[in-house]
Copies of this chain bind each other. A is one copy, B any other.
Amino acid sequence: MVLYFIGLGLSDEKDISVRGLEIVRRAERVYLEAYTSILMISHEKLEEFYGRPVIVADRTLVEQDADSILCSADTLDIAFLVVGDPFGATTHSDLLLRARSANIPTRTIHNASIMNAIGAVGLQLYNYGQTVSMVFFTEAWRPTSFYDRVKENRHVGLHTLVLLDIKVKEESWEDIALGRGGKGRFNKPRYMTVAQCAEQMLEVEETRGEKVYTPRSLAVGVSRLGSEDQRIVAGTLEQLSTADLGTPLHSLVLLGSRVHELEIDFIREFAIDKDIFNAAYHEEYGKEDGDKAM
């Protein structure tokens, strides 16, 4: 039969496609990938909506016990649910390749992911460069590789989508410090906010000092994209570093210099302060097309 990779979309149980739901209801086993992303509803609500049990697949299961997922997939339909799209920010090519080498047919049921739904903020998708990820900085680990990629995008004048870190099932620091790792005790999930992201970006610009962007560079913060209470906020990185966009998930887009006047008209509606927005726009992005930033 078939191993189905089914995208759940962005927000809640009703974002699944009609086709996806049909497959979930008739599949032999249903797994929910739950370590790279989160849905804004509970596992129980999902089971209730589907009218059937859903097995939560954490990283250990998918990476170390993939055979149990694939078990009897040659004779039965198996559904593997992924928040967003199965081949969005995180791909599940490993599981797909295992299925392929076991001669199990696969099919993907696509859905919206942050990678295309971000279009809703009003910046044209084809004006985006490569997507970057921002991780939680720690005392010891403050990686700046994102900065090089943003630099490449900004050099050409393109927008940059920044995906923000989430930490689910992190082992408790206390356990790790006391050498008691692997006990299955976990910290509460943590989700990076737009404010934290903007702050880290500004810190790295300060350190690296290559003028890839400034505190006055314009960006758009978005939270709970696709849900009824999604929020979109536009402003300078400095403004965003103190903006409160509420509960997760958050994402950020840094504007490129090729931004079109129509895009600006669209996002001005979301400005924290229209005067600051307009001033910052004229300072850095000017009025003509072309490569002005950097």
Chain A interface residues toward B at CB < 8 A: 7, 9-10, 13-19, 21-22, 85-89, 91, 93, 97, 100, 107-108, 110-113, 115-117, 119-120, 122, 124-133, 152, 156, 158, 226, 228, 262, 265-266, 269
CB distance from A149 to the nearest CB of B (A): 9
Copies of this chain: 2
Asked if A126 and B89 make an inter-chain contact with CB atoms under 8 angstroms apart, the answer reads yes
Contacts of A127 in B (CB 8 A): 130
Interface pair A14/B19, CB less than 8 Å apart? yes
A131 near B125 (CB under 8 angstroms)?
A: yes
Q: What's the Cα separation between A128 and B125 when bound, in Å?
A: 12
Task: Give the residues in chain B near A124, CB-CB below 8 Å.
Answer: 91
9 residue pairs from A and B, CB less than 8 Å apart: A16-B18, A17-B17, A18-B21, A85-B119, A87-B125, A88-B125, A97-B266, A110-B116, A152-B156
Q: Is the CB of B85 within 8 A of A117?
A: yes
Instruction: Assess the A17–B19 pair: CB atoms within 8 A.
Output: no
Is A110 a contact partner of B117 (Cβ separation < 8 A)?
Answer: yes
Closest CB of chain B to A129's CB: distance in Å?
Answer: 6
- CA A97 to CA B108, docked complex, whole Å: 34
- Taking a contact as CB atoms under 8 Å apart, the answer to whether B14 and A120 are in contact is no
Residues B116 and A112 in contact, CB atoms below 8 Å apart: yes
Q: Quick one: closest B residue to A15, CB to CB? A: B17
Known contacts: A111-B112, A112-B7, A130-B158. The answer to whether A117 contacts B15 by CB under 8 A is no
Residues on B with C-beta less than 8 A from A125 are 87-89, 91, 115, 131
